[in-house]
Amino acid sequence: MLSRQALIAAHDHYVDVAGRCSASQQWREWADLFTSDATYHEHVFGNFTGPDEIYAWIQPLMTSFPNIEMRSFPHEWCVFDEARGWSICWIQNRFDDPGDGKVYQAPNCTILHFDDDGKVTHEEDVYNPMTFAPVVTAFMEAYAAHHPAASENSQ
């Protein structure tokens, strides 16, 4: 069982790695945070097991439009349950500024389970598609308005 400090450190490491991978658009290091038998439950895209399957899903997803423009995931709050080895966080999925100066983001609740070594054994992302879809649509419209040539090539 992880101490509270170790659980917070494991979570912070997860956030740091996600930030690096998002900036570089290379998601292998992030996928390798998961144990070989880890499960990832993503309500829209399905269920994935182990780092290789998780990587095979995340790498093309986050390097294609419009997701490639989503490189910031600010955490509004987190709750740490050291008895279970869980962190539960409210995260904003924020797109880069498309050129109009507005913030395009939608929240999700991420539930992470960690093992005694600080590796992720389970992740579940819970979000409301009725909230998320309009943000994606608005971002894509703003992006197209400010990057017409790039937007035509991305779709």
Residue 12 near residue 2, CB atoms below 8 Å: no
Closest CA to 93 of 113, 76, 116: 76
Q: Which two tokens stand for residue 4?
A: 């509270």
Mean pLDDT of 44-68: 95
Mean pLDDT of 94-120: 97
pLDDT digits 0-9 by tens, 75-101 = 999 999 999 999 999 999 999 999 999
Q: Residues 6 or more apart from 31 whose CB is under 8 A from it?
A: 51, 52, 54, 55, 58, 59
Closest CA to 124 of 150, 73, 87: 87
How large a percentage of the chain has pLDDT more than 90? Answer: 92
pLDDT at 151 > cutoff 60: no
d(CA 28, CA 16): 14
Q: Which two tokens stand for residue 21?
A: 């991978």
Average pLDDT along the chain: 94
pLDDT at 131 > cutoff 80: yes
Burial 108-147 (b: 16+ CB within 10 A, else e): bebbbbbeeebbbbbbbbebeeeebeebbeebbebbeeee
Class of domain 4-154: alpha beta
Q: pTM for this one?
A: 0.91
pLDDT given at position 1: 83
Domain boundaries, the chain: 4-154
Higher pLDDT, 21 or 44: 21
User: What's the pLDDT band for 155 if we cut at 50, 70, 90?
Assistant: low
